[in-house]
């Protein structure tokens, strides 16, 4: 169904954490899979107690050389504990090479009944991450509300929203209010980019999500999960509608 690409432009704002939380919250009536497509990846397997590379994006890419099939994709997926299927990536050179081989647009077309939540890591302006963004139905940039991050966001927002609208998710507190970030993004891009929502800075919730013993409670009770829920619902709405939301972010 939809190809959603999540990524960052600077620092480590919490992309992997957000994608996992959104994946756990994705409605059961929609088929979903998470894909770790981050060349610096290797984060999902250790956090969720999965095998690091067997199977993985690397084994999937090797098998997909002669064409993609839903069966091969699903058999390359593991599963987050009590959660959705996930294609993990070991990170490093093997993952970078695998990312060159997999055509995510084709994968999305081949998995017609599935929403793909792709953790692309750092959204570089060229290479596989750029191609991934060009093929996405929605691109979600995760940022911290700090000057260095926002300066890069405003610099890249025009190019990133050239082919489709761009959504930003602001993680944690900082000197810049969400409404101001939203207004600056809209102004810079002529309303092609905006803030979709904000997620609480909740280090304890993020750590609990990424470790055993407390994950289930974190998903039910943490501030991280409660604030992510709003983002998840908006993303599901976007996927169902297939069109961008025109409304302004809260406080804008
Ligand atoms: N919403 C959040 N609030 C506080 N800490 C967070 C949040 N999301 C992630 N973190 C923490 O920030 C660090 C980086 O998170 P991660 O999700 O791996 O970021 P990225 O994928 O952008 O590199 C981890 O220690 C994680 O626990
Ligand atoms: Mg990450």
Which residue pairs, CB below 8 angstroms and at least 24 apart, start in 243-250?
Answer: 244/165, 245/196, 248/182, 248/194, 249/178, 249/179, 249/182, 249/194, 249/195, 249/196, 249/197, 249/198, 250/178, 250/179, 250/197
Per-residue pLDDT, 1:
86
DSSP H or E segment with residue 117:
strand 114-122
Query: Is it the case that residue 213 has pLDDT exceeding 90?
Result: no
Which protein residues touch ligand 1 with a CB less than 6 Å away?
A: 8, 12-17, 43, 171-172, 199, 201-203, 206-207, 210, 224
Among 5, 8, 13, 14, residue to substitute to test ligand 1 (most atoms within 8 Å of Cβ): 14
pTM as predicted: 0.95
Q: pLDDT-derived band of residue 242, with 50, 70 and 90 as boundaries? A: confident
List the strands of the sheet with 193-199, edge to edge.
78-79, 85-87, 31-36, 114-122, 3-8, 138-143, 166-171, 193-199
DSSP string for 8-75: ESSS--SHHHHHHHHHHHS-TTSEEEEEE--TT---HHHHHT--SSSSSHHHHHHHGGG---HHHHHH
Ligand nearest to the CA of 42: 2
Q: What is the pLDDT of residues 16-64, one digit of tens each?
A: 999 999 999 999 999 999 999 999 989 999 999 999 999 999 999 998 8
Per-residue pLDDT, 41:
85
**Within a 10 A sphere around the Cβ of 250, how many other Cβ atoms?**
12
Residue 97 Cα, ligand 2 centroid: separation in angstroms? 18
Ligand nearest to the CA of 203: 1
CATH of the domain at 236: 3.40.50.300
Tell the residue number behind the tokens 């990133």, with chain if given: 160
Query: Is it the case that residue 250 has pLDDT exceeding 50?
Result: no
Cα 209 to Cα 225: distance, rounded to the nearest angstrom = 9
Tell the residue number behind the tokens 């940022």, with chain if given: 143
Query: Is it the case that residue 68 has pLDDT exceeding 80?
Result: yes
Per-residue pLDDT, 27:
96
182 domain residue, yes or no: yes
Q: What percent of the chain has pLDDT over 90?
A: 88
CA nearest ligand 1 atom 1, residue: 201
- Please, which residues have CB less than 5 A from ligand 2, an ion? 15-16
Q: What is the pLDDT of residues 165-185, one digit of tens each?
A: 999 999 999 999 999 999 999
* Angle separating helix axes 15-25 and 223-241, nearest 10 degrees: 70
Cα 16 to Cα 60: distance, rounded to the nearest angstrom = 20
**Within a 10 A sphere around the Cβ of 126, how many other Cβ atoms?**
7
Among 6, 12, 122, residue to substitute to test ligand 1 (most atoms within 8 Å of Cβ): 12
Per-residue pLDDT, 163:
87
Per-residue pLDDT, 64:
84
- Name the residue among 29, 18, 30, 97 with its Cα closest to residue 57: 97
Cβ(129)–Cβ(122) below 8 Å: yes
Domain count of the chain? 1
250 domain residue, yes or no: no
Q: What is the pLDDT of residues 1-20, one digit of tens each?
A: 899 999 999 999 999 999 99
158 domain residue, yes or no: yes
Query: Is it the case that residue 65 has pLDDT exceeding 90?
Result: no
139 domain residue, yes or no: yes
- Name the residue among 183, 141, 142 with its Cα closest to residue 159: 141
Ligand nearest to the CA of 222: 1
Cβ(33)–Cβ(77) below 8 Å: yes
Range of the domain at 172: 3-241
Per-residue pLDDT, 244:
54
DSSP H or E segment with residue 148:
helix 147-160
247 domain residue, yes or no: no
**Within a 10 A sphere around the Cβ of 21, how many other Cβ atoms?**
25
Residue 50 Cα, ligand 2 centroid: separation in angstroms? 16
248 domain residue, yes or no: no
């Amino acid at each position: 169904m939809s190809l959603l690409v999540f990524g960052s432009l600077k620092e480590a704002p919490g992309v992997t954490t957000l994608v996992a939380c959104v994946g756990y919250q994705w409605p059961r009536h929609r088929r979903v899979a998470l894909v770790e497509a981050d060349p610096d990846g290797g984060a999902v397997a250790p956090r969720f107690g999965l095998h690091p590379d067997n199977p993985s994006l690397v084994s999937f890419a090797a098998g997909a050389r002669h064409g993609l099939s839903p069966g091969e994709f699903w058999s390359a997926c593991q599963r987050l504990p009590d959660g959705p299927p996930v294609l993990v990536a070991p990170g490093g050179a093997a993952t970078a090479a695998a990312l060159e081989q997999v055509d995510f647009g084709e994968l999305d077309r081949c998995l017609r009944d599935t929403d793909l939540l792709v953790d692309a890591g750092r959204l570089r302006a060229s290479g596989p991450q750029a191609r991934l963004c060009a093929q996405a139905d929605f691109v979600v940039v995760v940022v911290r509300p700090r000057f260095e991050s926002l300066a890069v966001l405003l610099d890249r927002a025009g190019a990133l929203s050239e082919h489709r609208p761009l959504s930003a998710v602001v993680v944690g507190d900082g000197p810049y209010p969400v409404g101001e970030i939203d207004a600056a993004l809209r102004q810079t891009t002529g309303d092609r980019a905006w803030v979709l929502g904000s997620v609480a800075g909740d280090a304890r919730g993020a750590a609990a999500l990424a470790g055993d013993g407390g994950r289930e409670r974190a998903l039910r009770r943490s501030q991280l999960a409660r604030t992510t829920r709003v983002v998840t619902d908006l993303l599901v709405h976007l996927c169902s509608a297939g069109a961008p939301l025109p409304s302004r972010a809260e406080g804008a």
